[in-house]
Amino acid sequence: QVQLVQSGAEVKKPGASVKVSCKASGYTFNNYYMHWVRQAPGQGLEWMGIIHPSGGDTTYAQKFQGRVTMTRDTSTSTVYMELSSLRSEDTAVYYCARDLIGDSRGFDPWGQGTLVTVSS
């Protein structure tokens, strides 16, 4: 079955960087974009960016430009999201979610989420 399995929770200090992974299985990796979405405690969903699995092309939300980097490793069907210069407002659950290339049908499924806590 299709699965997106994310790395475990992280605690970081302000100014540090965090790198979250999302390992895909159960489908052809190159046929689906991967998105990253975050959710601050008690808040709504915020789209961060998208990566094309084969070419590695990325598009980031303007809010995160210069602070986020999305990469992928096709040999392990894993995508990564690195966020730098962390501040307390970056405390959130970070999700990956796949999106069919060429016939988008929304984000389905989503990873289980990775809690990133930024605290001194």
From the CB of 36, what's the least distance to another protein, in Å?
11
From the CB of 8, what's the least distance to another protein, in Å?
15
Residues whose CB is less than 8 angstroms from the CB of residue 75 and which lie 6 or more positions away in sequence, other chains included: none
Which CB atom, from 39 or from 84, has the smaller least distance to another protein?
A: 39
Which CB atom, from 50 or from 68, has the smaller least distance to another protein?
A: 50
**DSSP code, position 93:** E
**How large is the C-alpha radius of gyration of the chain?**
14
Q: Footprint of another protein on this chain (CB under 8 A)?
A: 35, 37, 44-47, 50, 59, 61-62, 95, 97, 99, 104-113
CA pair distance 14, 89, nearest whole angstrom:
10
